[in-house]
Amino acid sequence: MKKRFLAFPCSLLVAVLVAAPASTQTAIKGNVLVVVSSEETIELQDGKTYKTGYFLNELAVPVKRLQEEGYAITFANPKGNKPTMDIHSDSVDFFGKDYSQYRAIKTFHDGLVNLKSPRKLADVVQDGLDRYDAVFFPGGHAPMQDLIRDPSVRQILTHFHQTGKPTALICHAPIALIAAMPQADEFAQAMRQGHSRQAAELAKDWPYKNYKMTIFSTAEEKIAESTQLQGKMLFYPQEALKSAGGDVKIVKPWNSQVVRDRELITGQNPFSDEALAETLLRAIVQKNPTK
C-alpha cells in the first residue's frame, strides 16, 4: 500500500492549537507513552560495537498517526537523555523510495521537540501509569543494549499487561519484553553465552509466555550483519523470544507483518510501521470505546 503523509511541522501545529479558539481546538483523546532507548551503540561479537539508535520511520510513522488521531505523546527513556537516530534509517528506502513521503516524515520528526528531551523512565513510573492509554516501543538495535533488562521497563510492561492496555513494539523493540521477567539480566547473559536452555529456565515466570508475537527475524539480522553492522550479533532476537517461551511468527525478510495477541502488538521489521500504527489505534479504541 502506498504511503501518503502531509508535511505538518509540530511547531506549526502547536502554534495553530494555541491560537485557535477553544471550540475549534483538536480534542485530546488520550495519552500514549513512547519508550525509546538511551543507548547509541550496541555490543557485537569480538569486541566490536555498532553505532545505532531508533529508526526514523519506526518512531515517526506511528507517532504521527497517533497525533493525527488526537493522542498526546510522552517520550521517555532510561537515562532521560536525548536519544539517537540510527543514521542508516535516514533513508528514502524505508518509504518505498518516495521522496515526498520521506521528506514529510523527516520534517515531522525534526519538529518533535519533546523527543529531544524525553522524560526519565523511573520518573514516569513514579508519577503513575494510569494516565496512559497505551505504550509504544520503536525499534532500531539500541533496545538490545538497555531496554531488554531495564527495571523501569519491567514496571511499565507489568502495568500494561495487568491492565490489558495496548502494548506495541516494532522490529528489534520486542526484545524489551524480556525485561518483564524477574531475571531479565541473567536471561540476557545466558543468551550472550549461547546457553539457550538455561535462558528458558530463567524465563519460567515470563508474563508473555505462549503469546503470539514477532520480531526482527534471524534471516533479516544475518543480512544486516553483512551489509550494515559489519559484525556479528551477540545473540539473535528471534531466538531470544523463542527461548523465553514466545510463539514467534516470522514471514519472509522485509515483508510487513504485525501480530496481535491480547494486549500485545508486535511488528517484524521497519516495513511494518503503517500496519502496526493502524493496529495500535484500533486496539486503543477497542479498549476505550467511549473516547
Write the CB contacts of 110 (distance below 8 Å, at least 6 apart in sequence): 9
| For residue 215, pLDDT beyond 60 | yes
Q: Looking at residue 9, what is its pLDDT?
A: 40
Q: What's the whole-model pTM score? A: 0.90
Contact assessment for residue 234 and residue 194, using Cβ atoms and an 8 Å cutoff: no
Contact assessment for residue 58 and residue 270, using Cβ atoms and an 8 Å cutoff: yes
Domain range list for the chain: 30-287
**Torsion angle of the four alpha carbons 147, 149, 155, 161, in this order, in degrees rounded to the nearest 10:** 80
Measured from the Cβ of residue 36, the count of other Cβ atoms closer than 10 Å reads 27
Cα separation, 124 vs 160, whole angstroms: 14
pLDDT bin (cut points 50, 70, 90) of residue 27 is: confident
Contact assessment for residue 53 and residue 83, using Cβ atoms and an 8 Å cutoff: yes
pLDDT bin (cut points 50, 70, 90) of residue 24 is: very low
**Distance linking the first and last C-alpha atoms of the chain:** 28
Q: Which of 49, 66, 56, 63 is nearest to 86 (CA)?
A: 56
| For residue 273, pLDDT beyond 70 | yes
pLDDT tens per residue across span 171-207? 999 999 999 999 999 999 999 999 999 999 999 999 9
Q: Looking at residue 262, what is its pLDDT?
A: 98
Q: Looking at residue 26, what is its pLDDT?
A: 60
More confident site: 22 or 212: 212
Over residues 26-37, the mean pLDDT reads: 92
Q: Which of 37, 34, 284, 276 is nearest to 137 (CA)?
A: 34
| For residue 8, pLDDT beyond 80 | no
Cα separation, 280 vs 30, whole angstroms: 13
Can you identify the CATH homologous superfamily of domain 30-287?
Answer: Class I glutamine amidotransferase (GATase) domain (3.40.50.880)
Percent above pLDDT 70 for the chain: 91
Q: Which residue has the cell 503503517?
A: 274
| For residue 128, pLDDT beyond 80 | yes
| For residue 155, pLDDT beyond 90 | yes
Query: Nine-digit cell at 229?
Result: 553492522
- The alpha-carbon radius of gyration of the chain (Å, integer) is 18
| For residue 6, pLDDT beyond 70 | no
| For residue 1, pLDDT beyond 90 | no
| For residue 25, pLDDT beyond 80 | no
Query: Nine-digit cell at 172?
Result: 528489534
The answer to whether the Cα torsion of 236, 238, 241, 242 is positive or negative is negative
Over residues 124-139, the mean pLDDT reads: 98
